[in-house]
Amino acid sequence: MTTTTQSEQDRVIIFDTTLRDGEQCPGATMTFEEKLNVARMLDDMGVDVIEAGYPFASDGDFEAVHEIAKRSKNSVICGLSRAAHKDIDRCAEAIKPAERGRIHTFLSTSPVHMKYKLQMEAAQVYEMVISSVTRARNHTDDVEWSAEDATRTEFDFLCRCIEAAIKAGATTINLPDTVGYAVPEEYRELFRKVRETVPNSDKARFSVHCHNDLGMAVANSMAGVAGGARQIECTINGIGERAGNAALEEVVMAMRVRQDRLPYWNRIETTMLTHASKTVSAATSFPVQYNKAIVGRNAFAHESGIHQDGMIKNAQTYEIMTPETVGVKGTSLVMGKHSGRAGLIHKMEELGYKLSRNQIEDVFVRFKALADRKKDVYDEDIEALVDEQLLHGQDQIKLMSLTVIAGTHGPQRATMKLDVDGQIRIEEAEGNGPVDAVFNCIKALVPHDAKLELYQVHAVTEGTDAQAEVSVRLSHEGRSMTARAADPDTLVASAKAYLGALNKIVAKRQRSVREDAPAVAVAG
């Protein structure tokens, strides 16, 4: 919110491109429903501009941008477009339902891009800048133009293109560090010089868009703001092409915590940052690194005895922001095998869970078993236990037991017992590796024709005794179902995750053909 010490000229527009640049990160593709869910979350948390996608790329991208434009309540909905007129027209059609829509068109301006990517002369690029911005302005009065690879562009030519873009109707000028090449001092100076040199620079808002190839995306973004930019283009968790983009949560909290050096403000509701991080992580199946600033698992965790002593006396000794400001309940407590039922209930309440007595008992039994196998039990371990109970407690197909024989001499063999809608089934199967044997066992027990699209493993916590969290995505009849499961045994977690996705397919199949579908039939 604006205070008496904050002026509109110090406001920084937060432009989120998670759904466009973020989704271009290899493996981060989201489903239609996941995109809508992320867009709704961004809209609610106060993002000024949501770059919802690249409508010309595919019909699916167009539909997602179009639907987000319909549903947005607060944010400007932006679509990306190349300089081609057909791209711009398609983008305009996609954002048309939005109460406030923006067309973001771009063109490379650096010598290396013009020569090898565009294979065009500078004069041709200059004319295309004018043509594309003019075309976009015919559709909307909110047009952003980006000079792709601006930080490696000859300064005089960059200024000419910016002046022409503003004259043609661009209201936002973006000077992206497309390949993460710049350093902060250099990037700040670029904005200062451009704004001083371009005659009509006062008629547009300048924007930063920084990639993290040298690990300086956030620092460069803040340097650009110091140089006069008033829009930051960023993504949740910093996802994006190659090494990613500037992380939204980091630039927002940098402004919040260091007002003495960064006297700018934005409209982001910071208490939603952790929720946003988890939402995007779940949608993309990209885990957040433990030491990630602001939203990482260790951001508010303290293990050192010296640090813990300081925290007990005064939290400011080792925390420069409170966990609550970013949506975390508090500093992580380490739970172990000596913790009792009351302590576990208190911890679950801190984490936001309210369970029935039977659910608590089930989680407590599994917590004790886990604590006997692990040195430390963290908040994320407990969340994994509770989430498994909530997500899979009513599943029709449940894992009862699993034994796997593996080693250097194959084939590997798995023996599995399942509870399939109240009936106990046992099967044994071989495979090319232990995971393949486990999945073959499931197929033998519950015949189906679903295709495995994704199998991904990462540790919930550190150490050799860490719980493994496995993500599995199954494709069936044109739909993809994703499930996650955690267990100290990676193979058990793999089986649970596979069965979780299979249970979703079963539930969907039953909803659509409830009258004549067999209880657990998936195939045919």
Q: What is the pLDDT of residues 307-337, one digit of tens each?
A: 545 655 666 776 789 889 999 877 654 566 6
Domain end residue (candidates: 391, 421, 436) = 391
**pLDDT tens string 279-295:** 999 888 888 998 999 99
Give 357 or 33, the one with higher predicted confidence.
33
- DSSP H stretches of helix in 414-471: 434-445
Chain-centroid distance of CA 287 in Å reads 9
Encode 273-310 in three state secondary structure. HHHHHHHHHHHHCCCCCCCCCCCCCCCCCCCCHHHHHH
| Top-confidence residue, 516 or 159 | 159
In this structure, the answer to whether residues 199 and 339 fall within a common structural domain is: no
Q: Are residues 204 and 66 in the same domain?
A: yes
- Annotated ligand binding at 448? The verdict is no
Residues 115-136 have a mean pLDDT of 97
Q: Both 232 and 86 in a single domain?
A: yes
Is 258 inside any structural domain? yes
CA dist 250 and 235 (Å) reads 10
| Assigned domain for 519 exists | no
The β-bridge relationship of strands 13-16 and 205-209 is: unpaired
Rounded CA separation 207/478 (Å): 40
Does any domain span residue 277?
yes
For 502, half-sphere exposure in the C-beta direction (CA atoms, 13 angstrom radius) is: 28
52 with 201, same domain? yes
Q: What range does the domain containing 402 cover?
A: 397-513
**Terminal C-alpha separation, the chain:** 57
Task: For residue 515, name the pLDDT band (cuts at 50, 70, 90).
Answer: very low
pLDDT of residue 392: 54
Which ranges in 414-472 belong to alpha helices (H)?
Answer: 434-445
Q: Which two tokens stand for residue 451?
A: 């295709």
Overall number of domains in the chain? 3
Q: Please tell me whether 392 is known to bind a ligand.
A: no
* 144 plus 197 within the same structural domain: yes
407 and 386 assigned to the same domain: no
Dist CA 288 CA 292 (whole Å): 7
The domain boundary, picked from 339, 371, 391, lies at 391
Q: What CATH number is given to the structural domain containing 179?
A: 3.20.20.70
38 falls within a domain:
yes
User: Is residue 1 in some structural domain?
Assistant: no
pLDDT digits (tens, 9 = 90+) for 440-485: 999 999 999 899 999 999 887 666 667 788 999 898 887 778 788 8
Has residue 292 been placed in a domain? no
Q: Is 141 annotated as a binding residue?
A: no
pLDDT bin (cut points 50, 70, 90) of residue 273 is very high
What pLDDT, on the 0 to 100 scale, is given for residue 53? 96
500 in a structural domain:
yes
Do 188 and 244 fall into the same domain? yes
Give the confidence band of 391 by pLDDT, cuts at 50, 70, 90.
low
d(CA 455, CA 472): 5
Alpha helix (H) residue ranges in 285-378: 305-313, 341-350, 357-373
Q: Is 151 exposed, middle or buried (0-12, 13-18, 19+ CB in 10 A)?
A: buried
Same domain, 272 and 346: no
- 366 and 419 both lie in a single domain: no
**Share of the chain residues as helix, strand and coil, in percent rounded to the nearest 5:** 45, 20, 35
**Sheet holding 451-459: strands in order across?**
451-459, 468-476, 479-487
Work out the pLDDT band at 169, boundaries 50, 70, 90: very high
Whether 367 and 427 share a structural domain: no
Same domain, 341 and 361: yes
Among the three residues 358, 391, 424, which one is the final residue of a domain in this structure? Answer: 391
Residues 239 and 344 both lie in one domain = no
pTM of the predicted model, to two decimals? 0.67
61 belongs to an annotated ligand binding site: no
- Residue 105 placed within a domain: yes
